[in-house]
A and B are shown apart, each in its own frame.
Chain A
Amino acid sequence: MTDVGTPRNETLIVQTFDGKASNPDAQNPLNQYAIWRGFRELGWSFLWEMDTATGESYPELAAGPVEVLNDEHTQFRIKIRPGVYWSDGVEFTVDDLIYTLDTSFKYKDKLTFVARTVNYIKEGSWKKVDDYTLDIETQSPAYDFQTVMGVYTWGSLFVPVPKHVFEPLGDDVVTFKNAPAVTLGPYKIKEFDPNGFWQLWELREDWERSGWGNSGEPKAKYVLYKDFGAEETRALAFVQNQYDVDTFMSPDSIAAAKSRNPAIETFSPTLPYHDMNDACSYGIYFNQLKAPYDEAAVRWALALSIDMQTVGISAVSGQFKASALPMADTPITSPVFYEPLDDFLNNLTLEDGYKPFNPNFGAELIEKLQAQGTPESEIPTGDAVKQSFGAGWWKYDPVEAESLLASVGITKGSDGFYTKPDGSPWMLDFVIPGDWNKVMQRTGFSIADSWRKAGFNVNARQVDNGEFATVQNTNARLDLMVNWSSSCTYNSNWFNSWASFSDAEAYNQPADSNTAIQGNYIRVTDPEIFKIVADSKTMEIGSEPFVENGREIAMKLTEGMQLINLMNIPTTIPTNNTYWTNFPKQSNFYAAPYTWWSSFKKTLLNIEPTGKE
Chain B
Amino acid sequence: MIGVLQYVAKRVGLYLVVLFIGLTITFFLPRLMPTNPIDGYIGQIQARASGALTAEAIASLRENLEVLYGLKGDLFTQYVSYLERVVLRFDFGPSFSFYPQPVSQIIFGAVPYTLGLLLCSTTIAWILGNLVGLVAGYFHTKRAASVLEIVGILLYPIPYYILAVTVILMLSYVIPIFPLSPSFPVGEMTPQKFGMIIYNSLLPAITLILAGFGWNILSMKALAVSTTEEPYVTYARLKGTSNGTRMLRYVFRNAMLPQVTALALSLGTIFNGALLTEMLFSYPGVGLIMRTAASSGDYNVLYGAITISIIAVATAGLIIDLIYPLIDPRIRHK
A positions within 8 Å CB-CB of B:
3-4, 20, 22-23, 26, 31-32, 35, 108-110, 112-113, 115-116, 118-120, 144, 147-148, 152-155, 157, 174-175, 191-198, 226-230, 232-234, 236-237, 239-240, 242, 279, 436, 463-474, 477, 485-486, 488, 490, 496-497, 499-500, 504, 506-507, 516, 518-519
Contacts and interface: CB of A to CB of B under 8 A. Distances in A.
Contacts of B97: 22, 32
A516 B55 CA distance: 11
B45 to A, nearest CB: 7
B50 A115 contact: no
Contacts of A152: 49-50, 52
A242 B51 CA distance: 35
Nearest to A232: B165
Contacts of A518: 53, 55, 58-59, 62
A32 B98 contact: yes
Interface stretch (B139-147, B262-270, B282-290): B282-290
Given A3-B179, A197-B182, A466-B39, 5 more contacts: A26-B98, A229-B282, A234-B181, A469-B40, A472-B43
B280 A488 contact: no
Contacts of A237: 180-181
CB-CB nearest 6 A-B residue pairs: A506-B55, A195-B284, A469-B43, A466-B35, A119-B57, A466-B297
B67 A228 contact: no
B168 A193 contact: no
A574 to B, nearest CB: 17
Given A32-B99, A237-B181, A465-B40, A157 B49 contact: yes
27 contacts: A3-B179, A4-B183, A22-B98, A23-B95, A112-B61, A112-B68, A113-B45, A115-B61, A116-B53, A157-B48, A157-B53, A174-B100, A175-B100, A196-B284, A197-B181, A236-B169, A236-B180, A242-B180, A466-B33, A469-B40, A469-B43, A470-B39, A470-B40, A472-B43, A473-B42, A488-B51, A499-B54
Given A32-B99, A112-B99, A116-B57, A154 B40 contact: no
Q: Chain B interface residue count: which class? A: 35 or more
Given A109-B64, A233-B168, A516 B183 contact: no
Contacts of A153: 50
Interface in B35-90: 35-43, 45-62, 64-65, 67-68
Contacts of B294: 464
A553 to B, nearest CB: 14
Contacts of A485: 43, 46-47, 51
Contacts of B179: 3
Contacts, number: 220
A227 to B, nearest CB: 6
A471 B181 CA distance: 35
B28 interface: no
A229 B179 CA distance: 12
A490 B100 CA distance: 33
B244 interface: no
Contacts of B45: 32, 113, 115, 157
A464 B48 contact: no
Contacts of A31: 99-100
Contacts of B281: 229, 233
Contacts of A157: 45, 48-49, 52-53
